[in-house]
Amino acid sequence: MKASITELPRLNSATQSPIFDAFSTFIRMSEVKCIVSMKRSSIYKLMQRTNSGFLQPVKLSSSNASGAHVACVLSEVQIWARSRIQARDRVAA
């Protein structure tokens, strides 16, 4: 069964620590799309713009072919989303 990233992480009963670490957890593009509420094409456009501050994908294989498997780091997606919220709050203030 595939776990949703919106679920709270379960604790490991032996260590009482989360099962995953957001700084080393890879998520697929479908999950990135859900978090940032953007289409795949918009996400890839932001990734190509160096001044956008958007996250960069992690290659999951050594293949250079288009369509090679990539993922994003969960914490980087969360940090970017928080930065957009903060930018909104600065404008509103």
- pTM (predicted TM-score): 0.70
Rounded (to 5) percent helix, strand, coil in the chain? 40, 10, 45
**Count of domains for the chain:** 1
Quick check: is 6 in a domain? no
Quick check: is 83 in a domain? yes
**Structure confidence at residue 11 (pLDDT):** 56
Quickly tell me which residue has 């999950």 as its tokens: 31
Q: Could you tell me the residue range of the domain that residue 31 belongs to?
A: 26-92
CA 39 to chain centre: 14
Per-residue model confidence as pLDDT tens for the chain (93 residues): 455 555 555 555 566 566 678 899 999 999 999 999 999 999 999 999 988 889 899 988 888 877 778 899 999 999 999 999 999 988 876
**Structure confidence at residue 1 (pLDDT):** 42
SS3 85: helix
